[in-house]
Structures are given as structure tokens and as C-alpha cells.
Amino acid sequence: MSGLRPQVRALVFSAVRATPSASRREVGRRNAARLGLAALVALAEFFALGGSVYGARSVGLTLFSAAGWGLVALAITRLSLVRGPSMLGRPTRALLTMAVACAPIVFCWAAATAGAQGASADWGLHARCLGATILLSAPPFVAFLYARRHSDPVHPAALGAALGAASGAWGGALIDLHCPVTHVAHLGAAHVMPIALFALAGAALGKRVLSLR
């Protein structure tokens, strides 16, 4: 059997010397800075939109509802962004389950914590709120993709979908604080649907952006 040629070692070491790479500490610092910046941009957008608006819901119920959204977003972010004990990340099935289950879970939560059903909004308000949710979800989406770019050798599309769902859930948590409309049709169309949109976008971008190539 022919073994590994010594020339390969020389070539690899030469390429390694010529190619800079960041240590774990540097990567951690950069990712923390990116995630912090994304949080600041999302919060700036949130306050630019007008901040918290409570409407018919009590302050306590609104905060409770947003906390539920945030908890789901945090869990999916933690499970998809952090690989866990294996360098190969979470199993494909777990990532896909998170991506698919996120929207129904938060929709049920939002409907349960909506309080008294107000009048359904018109299409203009649906569209405006949908746009705001997408705007609020975009910074974490970009930061998550950047933090994990070119790092997944096994299932980049599934990882992208899970990260997209997490981004949509973060945007939903902020819009839940901002939007006073609690009709389920509005919640589904304007608050929850971006989760599915970002999950699809993440799946589409995953192979190109997240794949370790």
C-alpha cells in the first residue's frame, strides 16, 4: 500500500504558513462583537419603530408573551448556533425539527397570550407589520450566518434553516412588544410567517454560506 507521501506534509505546512487563521479566542471575540452589533441594530430598529406599544393587552401579559417568544428564540439559537459536544453540530433531524416546529410553537404561544381578540387588521397593517418583523429579524440572521459561515461540513442547509427560524423568532419577540394587534390572523401573517420565510432563506443560503469548503 502506498502511504502518505512526505511531500504532502511539506506542501500542507507551506500552505498553512501562508494562510492566516484565527485562534479560538479571536473567533469568540469577533462573534461576540458581531452578535452584540446585531442586537444593537435590532434594538435601534425597534425603538425607531416606536418601541413598546401595549394596546388592549396589559403590560404584564405583553411582557409575558414576548418572554415566551424570546425563550423559544434563545433555545433555538443556543441549539443551532453552538455546535454542542461534536464538531459536526446537532443532528440534521434536530435542526430540521427546530426549523419546522418553531413557527407553529410560537403561533400557539402568541394565540394563547393574545388576550381579548381585537378587530382584524387590514392588509396594509399586515404588510407593514410583516415588513417590520423582517427588518427586526434581519440583523440576527446576518450575524448568525456570519458567525457560522464556512463551518459546516455535514448539513449546512439544515443549519441555515434552524438559524433562520431563530432569527425570525427574535424578530417576532420584538414585534410582539411593539404591535398592539392581537388578532390571530394578524399574528400568523405578520408576526409568525417571517419565521418560515427566514427558515427558507437560511436553507437556501446555507449551502453557499455555511458549508465548509
Partner 1 sequence: MIAARTFHFDMHASFRAVTQSAADVAMDRYANGDAGAFGAVYDAVAPRLHAYLRARSGSDAIADDVVQQTMLRIHTARGSFQQGAQVMPWAYAIARRLLVDRSRRHRREVLTLDGESPAEGASSADLPADDAVHAAQLERRLDVELARLPEAQRAAFELVKREGLSMAEAAAVLGTTATAVKLRAHRAYVSLRAALGSAFGAEGADR
Residues that bind partner 1 (CB under 8 A): 1-5, 8-9, 11-13, 15-16, 19, 21-28, 83-88, 91-93, 150-151, 153-155, 211-213
Closest CB to partner 1 among 13 and 64?
13
Closest CB to partner 1 among 92 and 120?
92
**Residue 15 CB, nearest approach to partner 1 (Å):** 5
Closest CB to partner 1 among 27 and 127?
27
**Residue 204 CB, nearest approach to partner 1 (Å):** 18
**Residue 156 CB, nearest approach to partner 1 (Å):** 10
211 phi and psi, to 5 degrees?
-65, 135
Written in H, E and C, the secondary structure of the chain is CCCCCHHHHHHHHHHHHHCCCCCHHHHHHHHHHHHHHHHHHHHHHHHHHCCCCCCCCCHHHHHHHHHHHHHHHHHHHHHHHCCCCCCCCCCHHHHHHHHHHHHHHHHHHHHHCCCCCCCCCCHHHHHHHHHHHHHHHHHHHHHHHHHCCCCECCCHHHHHHHHHHHHHHHHHHHHHHHCCCCCHHHHHHHHHHHHHHHHHHHHHHHHHHCECC
Closest CB to partner 1 among 124 and 213?
213
Closest CB to partner 1 among 120 and 151?
151
**Residue 3 CB, nearest approach to partner 1 (Å):** 7
**Residue 165 CB, nearest approach to partner 1 (Å):** 19
